[in-house]
Structure 1
Amino acid sequence: MRFSREDLARVRLSAAPDPLWEVALSITKLYRPNVTEPYAEWAAWTRNVDDLRVRSAARVLGSLIPSRGYFPDFLTPADGSPSLEEGIDAVLRTPRRKLRANLGRLGRLPGWAQGLADGDPAALGSLGTAMRTYHDGMLKPHWERIRRRLEADRATTGAAMLTGGAEQVLSGLGPAVRWRDPVLEVDYPVDREVHLAGRGLLLVPSLFCHGTPVSLADDDLPPVLVYPIAPGRDWMRASAPERQLEALLGRTRSAVLRAITYGGTTSQIARRLRVSPASVSEHVGVLRGSGLLASRRQGRGVVHSLTGLGSSLVAGDDAPWPAVNSAQPEWCRPTPPPS
């Protein structure tokens, strides 16, 4: 990726974890025959999901997203997806020309996807349903832990941006990335050269991105670089304090408190948790009155952050999840996509 000075000034971080990138990249892990750490425990957990709708959704997405190589750009809109529903809406608005071009790169398509390439509303609606169902069945049970790790990386990267600028951030994206002004070199399965040409670069941290960063295939789209974080082997493990916090405060209120770990407005917290702003506002009032968080006005909004007491209550050590059956059932073995 070739940068100008203008591009360096336009390097920015995604505003929030992008659920569509996590959906797409998790599919690439789901169908690999030998899933390595840190995803082995999650992949084993998914094999115990017995909801037929979730299984069907996984097969639908697996027919478009191979375990390695290209998958369609339109599944991960270039402007980012602050929420699952907004992201799916963007996918469903994809122009027919782009659908045909993206899907054409996959080669022979399954029968149901022929209508998708033609922009058929029913086929698009089925795709949106599959994305939502898969997310809710395979990722949502763990989304709070995923979100917390992505928010932690975003906070660290944001601090590096403030203290050392974009070049320091680009230099710290991992061993597969090398910053040699004015070029960012990334280990990648194919040879590419991207001229940012003043458009800047959006950096998106991802838990299911592993080893090598990922970019959109179409160089005419706004430049995006999805980079891996280091979640650790134990990211799937529930913490004892987390369970105790839920028992003390209730599920929603404890989720609100954890969601405020890295700060945010009422609307931002509501989007993270996919609950109404009114519900978040009610819980924020109780938590603030209990001395667990503080609120301050920033511009036209109000930003909430944890107090020392709130931070101490949220923090804790991890304990392992119960063992799960690691056998791979038939539904988790899709037909390999054409070369």
Structure 2
Amino acid sequence: EAGRTAGGGAMLRVHFTAEDLLHVTFAPEPLPLVELGLALAAVQRTDAPAVFGRWRHRALRELPGRARPLFDLLRPDGDNPPFVEPYARTLDEGLADVAAAAGRLTGRELHRAAARAPGSASWLRALWDGDREAWTRLDGALRSAYEAVVAPHWPRIRQSFRADVAWRTRLLAAHGIRACMAGLHPRAGWDGTVFEVAAPPHHEARLGGRGLVLMPSSFWTGRPLLAGHPSGAHVLLYPALTPLPLVGPEPAEGPLDALLGRTRAAVLHLLVEQRTTTEVARALGISLPSVSEHTRTLRAAGLITTERDGKAVLHSATALGVDLLHSGR
């Protein structure tokens, strides 16, 4: 059901029952075609430029021409047709699930996909009509895009995924579900048993006792996305604490680097003492926009606080951040 809050602002609102609060789990692993869909959405986004800017330019250069039609299906808001992002554990299983969707797609789904496509919708209509050539083209586009954008980075994607789940599982055990989920986004919070993220577009859903699966993505940078799961539960896709560009090519030296990335971990270390954005940038030799990206994510996770003192912006680690530093050692 969709609507508006009393103040008229657009947001995500997820209604939990008491039973739902007892059935919040984490996905066991990242899923190839889900990550591909979010990766292609991320390529088209313009937010978080300090972290994702170079990665986006490189990914666009490396993306084969035969994969470009996917931009008609996989849009930057991440609200993609579910049949292109099946919850399959391997690429081959996922592609088989995509192929099996032929003949089940509705006219309403076609209308929505065509309205969102930046290019010609003719090949989308051919897909919905069951045209064999169009489905072969889709299979080839997914394979080539996966090999270019996702496959080379799969160990790093898994590292980001596992570190995020390990951290939030610990947070859940120590502080409960409210603290665990409030750190999923800078504008996330709770109104009673309703989880809210104050960012558009507006979407309201009731879990109805079916539970919720939390799934981090190292590609996604936007507001958490709510989707259905074949089991009947809902899935909440959210940005992993360490996005792919910050995951080092080598194995992390410790749990803190695995969770935050080396630069972001260094920012948190510095903020045991209160510092300004400029002081952090100077100490680490990074740009002011980069510091702002890092502090925004650390603040959203409840690891630092930020306050203004005149024109200066002051950051300092919270008790939770200090606790993480101690556990990381």
TM over 0.5: yes
Name the counterpart of 1:123: 134
Name the counterpart of 2:41: 28
How far does residue 232 in structure 1 lie from its aligned partner after superposition? 5.5
Q: Deviations over 1:297-336 (max 9, x none)?
A: xxxxxxxxxxxxxxxxxxx979xxxxxxxxxxxxxxxxxx
Name the counterpart of 1:281: none
Matches within 5 A, 1:256-295: none
Name the counterpart of 1:136: 147
How far does residue 221 in structure 1 lie from its aligned partner after superposition? 6.4
How far does residue 161 in structure 1 lie from its aligned partner after superposition? 3.4
Aligned-pair identity (%): 30
Q: How does the TM-score come out when normalised to structure 2?
A: 0.63
The reply to whether residue 15 of structure 1 matches residue 25 of structure 2 is no
Higher mean alpha-carbon deviation, 141-150 vs 173-182, is at 173-182
Structure 1 residues 203, 153: closer, same or farther in 2, change over 3 A? same
| Alpha carbons 1:204, 1:226 under 8 Å: kept | yes
Q: Distance in 1 between matches of 2:105 and 2:211?
A: 23
The reply to whether residue 81 of structure 1 matches residue 88 of structure 2 is yes
Q: Distance in 1 between matches of 2:19 and 2:47?
A: 43
Q: Deviations over 1:192-245 (max 9, x none)?
A: 210111111111101111141112389x96422101123268526534x78xxx
DSSP-derived class of the 1:44 partner = helix
| Alpha carbons 2:38, 2:78 under 8 Å: kept | no
| Alpha carbons 1:171, 1:178 under 8 Å: kept | yes
Name the counterpart of 2:161: 150
Q: Distance in 1 between matches of 2:157 and 2:144?
A: 18
Matches within 5 A, 1:34-113: 36-49=49-62, 54-57=64-67, 59-68=68-77, 70-77=79-86, 80-94=87-101, 96-108=103-115, 110-113=121-124
Q: Distance in 2 between matches of 1:188 and 1:74?
A: 26
Structure 1 residues 124, 10: closer, same or farther in 2, change over 3 A? farther
Name the counterpart of 2:177: 166
CA RMSD of aligned residues (A): 3.4
Q: Distance in 2 between matches of 1:95 and 1:221?
A: 22
Runs of 4+ in 1 over 4 A off after TM superposition: 32-35
Q: Distance in 2 between matches of 1:68 and 1:132?
A: 22
DSSP-derived class of the 1:96 partner = coil
Paired amino acid for 1:55:
G
| Alpha carbons 2:73, 2:81 under 8 Å: kept | yes
DSSP-derived class of the 2:189 partner = strand
How far does residue 66 in structure 1 lie from its aligned partner after superposition? 2.4
Paired amino acid for 1:60:
P
Paired amino acid for 1:39:
F
How far does residue 13 in structure 1 lie from its aligned partner after superposition? 0.8
Name the counterpart of 2:16: 3
Q: Deviations over 1:128-162 (max 9, x none)?
A: 32112101112222221122111111122223334
Structure 1 residues 141, 84: closer, same or farther in 2, change over 3 A? same
List runs of 5+ in structure 2 lacking aligned partners: 1-13, 256-260, 264-329
Paired amino acid for 1:142:
H
Q: Deviations over 1:282-305 (max 9, x none)?
A: xxxxxxxxxxxxxxxxxxxxxxxx
Q: How many residues align?
A: 242
Q: Distance in 1 between matches of 2:166 and 2:106?
A: 35
Q: How does the TM-score come out when normalised to structure 1?
A: 0.61
Q: Distance in 2 between matches of 1:227 and 1:317?
A: 21
| Alpha carbons 2:216, 2:239 under 8 Å: kept | yes
DSSP-derived class of the 1:12 partner = strand
List runs of 5+ in structure 1 lacking aligned partners: 243-257, 263-315, 319-339
DSSP-derived class of the 1:68 partner = coil
